Structure 1
Amino acid sequence: MGLPALAVILGAFASFSGFLFGYDTGYISGCKEMESFIRTFGTLQSDGSVLLGSGRDSLVTSILSVGTCLGALCGSIVGDRIGRRFGIVFYICLFFIGVACQTGCKSLAGFAIGRVFAGLGVGGTSCLVPLYQAECSPKSIRGLVVSAYQFFVTVGLLVAACVVNATKDRPDNSAYEIPIGIQFVWGALIIGGMCLLPESPRWLLSRDDHVKAKQSLSKLLGQPEDSQAVTTEFAEIAANLEHERSVGKATWADCFKYGEGKTRLRIFTGMALQALQQLTGVNFIFYYGTSFFANSGISNPS
């Protein structure tokens, strides 16, 4: 496989994994305001109306983040145990369970459990997909491929809003089931991408599978296994792994130690960037924007 083909495939893979994250974040705000959703998951009031109370609203919205957090924390463990490719497929299967629960369950508990499973899938893939891309992409396009992930998060948010707006006036439960159920397509595209791409050569080398690691590098670089490009890249990855092994086994505590690689500085820099991003209040729009605009008297809040 030549470099142009590899760039296209990895770029498309990045697109749909980031798209999955953005879409899953973006659809819930509009779905919660649909009459069919409120009728299904709301509570009957004394005057005969049905209301999705603040407690149920908060549960439906925030429970996703619980699963996302757990999925991301376990992502490295899963990826190291069963590989980057199968780790991603595993998390997509969890995501499918979550989507099925959300579309099929008519109880709040079932819907909330579905949100947790969907969060596990989104959190795990958001951890493993950029890692897989960084380990598989040639140096010349590595930054482009990995950064495409974040770009398509925003594309997913946009498409989610468009789909919700297109189905919001449907009179039955399909109004919210379609925006949720269509996520099966996004997950299937990611699994399809994994069928086209080889396993991470770095992970294969960490398992001392030198033969498959060279085969993987050969496919990724589009060069014969005995070529100079494959040999040089193989030696570089092997040297880096040997250096890591010489330092000793890493622990979670090492994330907060300074050390040779300035790990603590990198961790706190990433945490600060994420915290500052959340302080902009953007998640309020993603999760409660439709509710806020509806209560403000806007005729088309979605």
Structure 2
Amino acid sequence: MAGGPSGTAEGVSNASLAWAVIMSAFAAFGGILFGYDTGTIGGVIAMQDWLNVFGEFDPTLVLGHDTQGMYLKTSNKSLVVSILSAGTFFGALLAFPMGDMVGRKWGIVASCVVFSLGVGLQLDTKWATFVVGRVIAGLGVGLVSCLVPMYQSECSPKSIRGLIVGLYQLAITIGALLAAIVLNATKDEQSHAAWRTPIAVQFAWAAILGGGMMLLPESPRYLLHKGRIDSARAAMGRLTNRPANSPEVEAECAEITLALEEERAIGTGTYMDCFKNTEMKNGLRTWTGIMLQGWQQLTGINFIFYYGTTFFQSAGIKNPFIITVIADVVNTVMTIIGVQLIDRVGRRRLLLIGAAGMMFCEYIVAIVVDASGAATNVAAQKVLIAFVCFYIAFFATSWGPVAWVITGEIFPLNIRAKGMSLAVASNWLWNFGIGYATPYLVDTSTAGQPNGVATAALHVKVFFIWGSTCAGCLIFTYFFIPETKGLSLEQIDLLYKESTSAFFFLRIPSSSPALTAPIQSATPKSTAGR
């Protein structure tokens, strides 16, 4: 699932753990915006009243046999689900200009306003208005997906930054779980409230995030970058619970100023610099981030969270909303476990294990369930549910959080902000493409009927595709992802600088300081700043 961290800062030394928790909570609400929307749209398009408003009637009852003949055309289903990701793609690219012009804090507040406007439009009963609302809400989500972690990385204590990165992914899963619970509670309403209520709940998430941010200080690093020294000291004083003129605040501001001067000395780091084959291997690192985010989407995970309810419904499962809740619970619980494994097991190893596990589960679903026929075979339905849950568990402990951690670690200082924006935009672009194409792969073909649409009608066979893409994830990880566990960001720079090949399974010379430097001097949990 999408979302994730960015930012370029040192962070602050904070004696108050309470403030660190507050920062984590507000970053989490940024993830909830996307996670909740992802879970909501998948259930809304399966609701009877929503289909009565936006769907079409099939007099043969071949389509929409569980919804009184009402169904959503494949083209419309693709559009309404995936169009949010089109908005988020542009939102992610616009996040850094907005963050630089109006600041991190007020940029997040403005993003919440944009998101709320999109949510409001989705309460209308006109198709065009609903779709436009999805685009505008996506723009807000894309902005938040970069601005919230950027603010957090610049303000949170250095010692827990790595954990916070993982918590952002956890928040996405919590948002999806909350959506599943709300949908299950309103699905039987025989009015527009059935789908308007789950959509309107998103106003609350935007209000909590935006309202909370208005009470917090601006990022001291942003203020120092703009030359607003007195404001930066005041903000630093609030963050560290110390007087603005205290020696500790002065030292923190001096340290950040020094880092800014170092960054300016390295260069501004244009978007073109991200792709140049420099000594620091900027091009390799940028493409690694872009492709890593793409492969995360190609695991097929959002097929379950976007289309899981309608897919389980078409597979003959009696209460697909309950199954969706179970899948979201598995996702949330296993993400909690996965976050704690990142610094223990290692990034690369978790990605390899996760890709292999997902590939196995998806091939089992494709082979066993397709051969047995889930629509009429209870045993096949149980296999489908069980191995989909196993598949989600492997994703949640590996590719879900780890992809964001690695993306936050691998960029050098002078291109980190722009490299992160490109990686996040890649995630949203693949999210859009997969969300749009999936109905054409899965849905029953209506070719030959009035306004019919030709589809591949793969149904459960689509898991052969997801299994094969997970094999691609395995190969990509083996050849291109180095193990960064226990390395400081400076050591990761040396890792890339000293490597003799793009294929990291070859490793680097054993005499390299990237490996011989004492690991004790590293800060393993740091993933977003130096």
Shorter-chain TM-score: what band?
over 0.9
> TM-score when scaled to structure 2?
0.55
> SS at the partner of 2:191?
coil
CA distance in 1, matches of 2:150, 2:162: 12
Q: What is the identity, as a one-letter code, of the residue corresponding to 1:23?
A: Y
Q: Please tell me whether residue 60 in structure 1 is matched to residue 73 in structure 2.
A: no
Greater mean deviation of Cα atoms: 29-38 or 274-283: 274-283
1:78 matches 2:98? yes
Which whole-Å CA distance do the structure 1 matches of 2:280 and 2:70 have between them? 57
Matched with 2:178 is: 159
Any residues of structure 2 matched to 1:1-302 within 5 Å, and which? 3-45=16-58, 49-103=69-123, 105-259=124-278, 262-302=281-321
For residues 16 and 191 of structure 2, what CA distance do their matches in structure 1 show? 48
Contact 1:68 1:122 in 2 (8 A): yes
Within 2, Cα distance between the matches of 1:197 and 1:203?
A: 14
1:205 is paired with a residue whose SS is helix
Cα deviation for residue 37 of structure 1 reads: 0.7
Q: Which amino acid aligns with 1:54?
A: T
Tell me by how many angstroms 1:201 deviates: 0.8
Mapped to 1, the partners of 2:106 and 2:279 lie a distance apart of 32
CA distance in 1 between counterparts of 2:47 and 2:299 reads 27
Inter-partner Cα distance in structure 1 for 2:156 and 2:60 = 60
Distance in 1 separating the partners of 2:193 and 2:299: 34
TM superposition shift of 1:279: 2.0
Contact 2:118-2:132 at 8 Å conserved across structures: yes
Asked whether the 8 Å contact 2:106–2:214 carries over to 1, the reply is no
**What letter matches 1:172 in structure 2?**
S
Larger displacement relative to structure 2 (253-262 or 274-283): 253-262
Q: 1:2 to 1:236 in 2, by over 3 A?
A: closer
- Structure 1 residue 261, shift from structure 2 partner: 5.6
Q: State the distance in 2 between where 1:199 and 1:228 align.
A: 20
Cα 1:19–1:66, aligned 2, differ >3 Å: closer, same or farther? same
Q: Structure 1 residues 277 and 198 mapped into 2: Cα distance closer, same or farther (>3 Å)? A: same
Q: Is the 8 A contact 2:36 2:172 kept in 1?
A: yes
Q: How many residues align?
A: 301
- Percent identical residues: 50
- 1:136-165 CA-to-partner distances (Å, cap 9, x unmatched) read 112123223333211111111111111111
Structure 1 residue 223: deviation in Å? 1.8
**Cα deviation 1:147-193 (Å, max 9, x = unaligned):** 32111111111111111111111001110101100000001000122
Q: C-alpha separation between the residues in 1 aligned to 2:165 and 2:106? A: 19
Q: Is the 8 A contact 1:14 1:146 kept in 2?
A: no
Instruction: Tell me by how many angstroms 1:265 deviates.
Output: 3.7
* Residue 277 of structure 1: how far off its partner (Å): 1.5
CA distance in 1, matches of 2:120, 2:276: 42
CA distance in 2, matches of 1:287, 1:154: 13
> What are structure 1's unaligned runs of at least 5 residues?
none
The Cα of 1:45 is off from its aligned counterpart by: 4.4
Alpha-carbon deviations, 1:250-302, whole Å to 9, x = none? 32212212446654343223223212221221011111111111111110112
Return the structure number with greater helix share.
Answer: 1
Post-superposition shift, 1:199? 0.3
Q: Call closer, same or farther: CA 1:296–1:46 in 2, change over 3 Å.
A: closer
The 1-side partners of 2:71 and 2:37 are apart by 24
Question: Between Structure 1 and Structure 2, whose CA radius of gyration is higher?
Answer: 2
Give the Cα separation in 1 of the matches to 2:195 and 2:237: 45
